[in-house]
Structure 1
Amino acid sequence: MGNKGAKTRGSTTLTSRQIAMLMANTNYTEREIREWHEGFLRDCPNGRLDKKKFREVHRQFYPQGKVDNFCKHAFATFDQNNDGTIDFDEFLLAISATNQCNLDDRLSVAFDMYDISGDGFINRKELIKLITAMYDLAGETNRKGENKPKKRATDIIARIDVNGDRKLSKYEFIAACKNDPVIRRLLAPNT
């Protein structure tokens, strides 16, 4: 729609405008952005990351886990323009959001990924999907008793659902995850 910037999406060249935008929205330096871009182009020579390659990359980072369930939700979240691919800008913003940000920001990204209905809340069913995907990704095999996804989701909602509507707002979700050591370890392992 007349957006000149749209022509560069998926481009194999990195413009000074892109670098400025990425520096403003991440904690990466220009040098780091250029290094990420080189690596991105090695894996995606056409400047686009499709769903298949996205899963392959995650399998490298989580060799013991099952990545498909997680990747389905993550890809949909990071493909901001819904074109079925992730360009370098979308990729680096996603990497930054999941690796550089503080715990609240990382949990906010997780919330956005699993608010499948897009209604601004995570219900029990969505929370079960999130917990199951995180278990799969981390290779977590202990899913009995307190660690059963349905049980954990039910307990989290019962404990944190402030207004009794049986779903979690983003604020409630972040508080719940920060106070649940298992979920916190799975969603934000480096904090």
Structure 2
Amino acid sequence: MGNKQPKTSSTELTDKQFALLKANTDYSDKEIREWHAGFIRDCPSGRLDKKKFIEVYKQFYPSGKPETFCKFAFDTFDANHDGSIDFEEFLLAISATSSGNLDDRLGVAFDMYDISNDGNIDQAELSKMIAAMYDLVGQADRKGENDPKKRAAAIIGKLDIEGDKKISKAEFIAGCKDDPFIRKLLVANA
């Protein structure tokens, strides 16, 4: 029960959904239909749950442990927070993270790192995300400059223009654009 409104469980792509995806992605009609066919093939219910999401990431990162990273990513992509990702949420996330402009991709990354959803990334949040990314790619060396807490402190020290020991979305985007090393470390496909 609860107060979550059930989504329609249709596996058909409605005209309204198609129009929304067409307006909010750079995908052609054909590409949207191909993405939809693949999504339904992999998720016959029309829903991608967290377990399946992790399975997909394991295919891309076979030597890593994607569970923690996937929790943060899944929570970001599950826009209505109902515990599953439907095709609309899926394609909007794919578009924003892979084919959107750099500011859009950095904005999505910021949203994932902002675990508390307060509009800022603090050192604890950044440290958790760096550790999750290390797990994802199977990086075991976490000593010295690779220590997630030290790396987070260094990044915040560099990007925090306002001096409040947090990174705002504007600071994150500007800092990642200005520093290729930080951008590569924090944002895949940017």
- TM-score over 0.5 for the pair: yes
Identity across matched positions, percent:
65
Alpha carbons 1:127, 1:153 under 8 Å: kept: yes
Alpha carbons 1:50, 1:86 under 8 Å: kept: yes
Deviations 1:68-100 (A, max 9, x none): 111101111111111111110001111111111
2:137 corresponds in structure 1 to 138
- Does residue 52 of the first structure (1) align with residue 39 of the second (2)? no
1:36 corresponds in structure 2 to 35
1:3 corresponds in structure 2 to none
For residue 40 of structure 1, report the CA deviation from its aligned partner: 0.6
For residue 181 of structure 1, report the CA deviation from its aligned partner: 4.0
Q: CA RMSD in A?
A: 1.9
1:93 corresponds in structure 2 to 92
Out of 13-22 and 51-60, give the one that drifted further. 13-22
For residue 20 of structure 1, report the CA deviation from its aligned partner: 1.3
Q: How does 1:172-191 map to 2 (within 5 A)?
A: 172-191=171-190
Q: How does 1:6-155 map to 2 (within 5 A)?
A: 9-155=8-154
Deviations 1:24-43 (A, max 9, x none): 10111111111111111111
- Does residue 166 of the first structure (1) align with residue 165 of the second (2)? yes
Alpha carbons 2:22, 2:29 under 8 Å: kept: yes
Structure 2: how far apart are the matches of 1:151 and 1:178?
21
Alpha carbons 1:131, 1:183 under 8 Å: kept: no
Structure 2: how far apart are the matches of 1:186 and 1:41?
33
For residue 7 of structure 1, report the CA deviation from its aligned partner: 7.9
Alpha carbons 1:156, 1:176 under 8 Å: kept: no
Deviations 1:145-184 (A, max 9, x none): 2222111111111122112111110111223333444442
SS across alignment from 1:174 = helix
Q: Which runs of 5+ in 1 are unaligned?
A: 1-5
Q: Against the structure 1 CA distance between its residues 176 and 146, is the aligned structure 2 distance closer, same or farther, given a 3 Å change threshold? A: farther
Structure 2: how far apart are the matches of 1:176 and 1:131?
16
Q: Give the length in aligned residue pairs.
A: 186
Structure 1: how far apart are the matches of 2:25 and 2:169?
22
SS across alignment from 1:35 = helix
SS across alignment from 2:91 = helix
Alpha carbons 1:49, 1:85 under 8 Å: kept: yes
